[in-house]
């Protein structure tokens, strides 16, 4: 089977993401014997020096078989003939169900009826999904994108964006209904979000049976429980800490309070956007790590702590869970199970849950979650594609 997996990203060859998301899924399809190709747009700027070793491709036209990539222009993926010329049996789209991509969806559907889209969504798609939560999501979403603006400008702009999104709900839902009608199958990453999507589809008059819960694949050959690695009294947190979404101030406030009270514990905070100096002697800041190094740190930690304001799936938390970390975070963030991850976001409540978890883990180590291997996810997607007429 020939499978084209497209996402509207413009990247350099050294930025290819084979260890997660659609890149990992591409590799899984190929491991099952399918001719799967990741379709992305080539960036025009040169790579930084020294060039990253993340990919073996030296040029977008490379034919190296280990790198199954199709480099396409934005105009090509909107051209029906481009899709037809590639003769795909299945197309997987990572377009976040945004209506502006409908021309791409129509072009792909002209080549095959088997088109599946990954929503990558927490389910709060319109105001009718829950007005207070939706308003907060819209505010947080826009504040994240204006985080480096002055607060006197960013906050009012985010409020205006949130209110505008609420007022525009009828128009948003009209356009979304057209998009959902186009798509034969939609994948949503968590059970909670799937329920919200099905309810929304029903309200919009769209068949909810086309919506399915399919998790993100996790690189389970690396992220897994290792009984040889002894777990320490260590809390690990991973994120893009220069973003409003990840909420670094809340993370550090809670960690400092916890570590002051429990001197046998330490913390690792990993990712871009950190300062050079840690605010606490037992909080260690680390830059982004390779997947194997990150996995080893998760395997040695007892708790994964998230302070995010919102997540569609929480891939780092899922990776940590497969390494047998307890997951602590705001209740707005829903895990692979159909349940929230403890409490609301105030620091005092998160601190209480960290304290509870640290006590329980002394005598009852966390068991790893059932892993969602790339091959299992790929097989699930193949089965769903076979039901498309």
At residue 106, does pLDDT exceed 90? yes
Specify the long-range contacts of residues 174-181, CB closer than 8 Å, at least 24 apart.
Answer: 175/99, 176/97, 176/99, 176/125, 176/126, 176/204, 177/204, 177/205, 177/206, 178/99, 178/102, 179/97, 179/98, 179/99, 179/102, 179/105, 180/97, 180/204, 180/206, 180/210, 181/206
Residue 369 included in any domain: no
At residue 344, does pLDDT exceed 50? no
Question: Do residues 73 and 163 share a domain?
Answer: no
Confidence band (pLDDT; 50, 70, 90) for 331? low
pLDDT of residue 343: 35
Question: Do residues 131 and 117 share a domain?
Answer: no
pLDDT digit string, tens, across residues 126-154: 999 999 999 999 999 999 999 889 999 99
Question: Do residues 32 and 175 share a domain?
Answer: yes
Give whichever of 8-17, 61-70, 177-186, 320-329 has the largest mean pLDDT: 177-186
Question: Do residues 155 and 262 share a domain?
Answer: no
pLDDT of residue 24: 93
CA-to-CA separations, 228 to 13, 220, 225, 316, 367, in angstroms, rounded: 36, 17, 9, 22, 15
pLDDT of residue 356: 67
Question: Do residues 118 and 256 share a domain?
Answer: no
* pTM, full prediction: 0.85
Residue 223 included in any domain: no
Question: Do residues 299 and 189 share a domain?
Answer: no
Domain count of the fold of the chain: 3
Question: Do residues 160 and 175 share a domain?
Answer: no
What does the H/E/C string look like for 47-69?
CCCCCCCCCCCCCCCCCCCCCCE
Q: How far apart are CA 294 and CA 108, in angstroms?
A: 37
Q: What are phi and psi of 70, to 5 degrees?
A: -110, 120
Q: Report the mean per-residue pLDDT for the chain.
A: 87
Can you tell me whether residue 249 is helix, strand or coil?
helix
Question: Do residues 110 and 140 share a domain?
Answer: no
At residue 212, does pLDDT exceed 90? yes
- Residue range 110-120: average pLDDT? 96
CATH of the domain at 347: 3.40.50.2000
At residue 336, does pLDDT exceed 50? no
Share of the chain above pLDDT 70, in %: 84
At residue 75, does pLDDT exceed 50? yes
Q: How far apart are CA 187 and CA 95, in angstroms?
A: 11
At residue 251, does pLDDT exceed 80? yes
Residue 302 included in any domain: yes
Residue 152 included in any domain: yes
Confidence band (pLDDT; 50, 70, 90) for 60? very low
Burial of 79 by CB count in 10 Å (0-12 exposed, 13-18 middle, 19+ buried)?
middle
- Residue range 111-117: average pLDDT? 97
Residue 200 included in any domain: yes
Q: How far apart are CA 316 and CA 327, in angstroms?
A: 10
Rounded to 5°, the CA angle 274-247-269 comes to 40
Question: Do residues 244 and 254 share a domain?
Answer: yes
Q: In what order do the strands lie in the sheet with 326-328?
A: 283-286, 266-270, 234-238, 303-305, 326-328
Question: Do residues 155 and 178 share a domain?
Answer: no
Burial of 100 by CB count in 10 Å (0-12 exposed, 13-18 middle, 19+ buried)?
exposed
Residue 29 included in any domain: yes
Q: Which one is predicted more confidently, 329 or 166?
A: 166
- Residue range 228-242: average pLDDT? 94
Residue 181 included in any domain: yes
Residue length, the chain?
389
At residue 292, does pLDDT exceed 70? yes
pLDDT digit string, tens, across residues 77-103: 999 999 999 999 999 999 999 999 999
Question: Do residues 101 and 143 share a domain?
Answer: no
pLDDT of residue 358: 64
Residue 161 included in any domain: yes
Give residue 257's domain range. Answer: 234-363
At residue 63, does pLDDT exceed 70? no
pLDDT digit string, tens, across residues 152-188: 999 999 999 999 999 999 999 999 999 999 999 999 9
Question: Do residues 178 and 113 share a domain?
Answer: yes
């Amino acid at each position: 089977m020939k499978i084209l997996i497209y996402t509207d990203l413009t990247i350099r060859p050294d930025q290819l993401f084979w260890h997660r998301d659609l890149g990992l899924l591409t590799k899984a399809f190929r491991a099952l014997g399918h001719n799967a190709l990741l379709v992305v747009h080539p960036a025009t700027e040169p790579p930084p020096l020294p060039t990253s070793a993340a990919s073996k491709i030296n040029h977008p036209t490379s034919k190296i078989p280990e790198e199954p990539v199709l480099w396409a222009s934005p105009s090509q993926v909107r051209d029906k003939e481009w899709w037809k010329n590639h003769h795909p049996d299945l197309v997987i789209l990572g377009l976040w169900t945004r209506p502006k991509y409908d021309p791409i969806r129509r072009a792909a559907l002209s080549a095959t009826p088997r088109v599946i889209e990954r929503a990558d969504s927490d389910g709060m798609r319109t105001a009718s999904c829950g007005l207070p939560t939706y308003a907060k999501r819209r505010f947080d979403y826009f504040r994240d994108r204006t985080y480096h603006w002055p607060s006197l400008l960013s906050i009012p702009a985010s409020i205006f964006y949130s209110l505008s999104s609420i007022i525009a709900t009828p128009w948003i839902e009209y356009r979304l209904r057209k998009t959902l009608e186009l798509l034969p199958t939609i994948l949503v990453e968590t059970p909670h979000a799937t329920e919200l999507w099905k309810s929304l589809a029903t309200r919009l008059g769209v068949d909810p049976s086309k919506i399915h819960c399919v998790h993100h694949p996790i690189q389970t050959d690396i992220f897994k429980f290792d009984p040889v690695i002894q777990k320490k009294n260590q809390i690990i947190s991973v994120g893009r800490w220069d973003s409003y979404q990840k909420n670094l101030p809340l993370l550090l406030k809670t960690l400092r309070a916890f570590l002051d009270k429990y001197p046998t514990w330490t913390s690792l905070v990993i990712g871009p956007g950190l300062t050079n100096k840690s605010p606490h002697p037992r909080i260690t800041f680390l830059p982004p790590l390779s997947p194997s190094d990150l996995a080893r740190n998760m395997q040695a930690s007892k708790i994964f702590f998230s302070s995010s304001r919102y997540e569609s799936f929480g891939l780092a938390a899922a990776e940590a869970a497969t390494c047998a970390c307890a997951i602590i975070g705001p209740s707005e963030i829903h895990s692979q199970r159909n349940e929230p991850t403890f409490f609301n976001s105030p620091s005092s409540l998160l601190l209480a849950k960290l304290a509870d978890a640290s006590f329980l883990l002394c005598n009852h180590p966390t068991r790893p979650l059932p892993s969602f291997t790339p091959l299992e996810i790929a097989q699930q997607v193949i089965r769903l594609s076979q039901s498309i007429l």
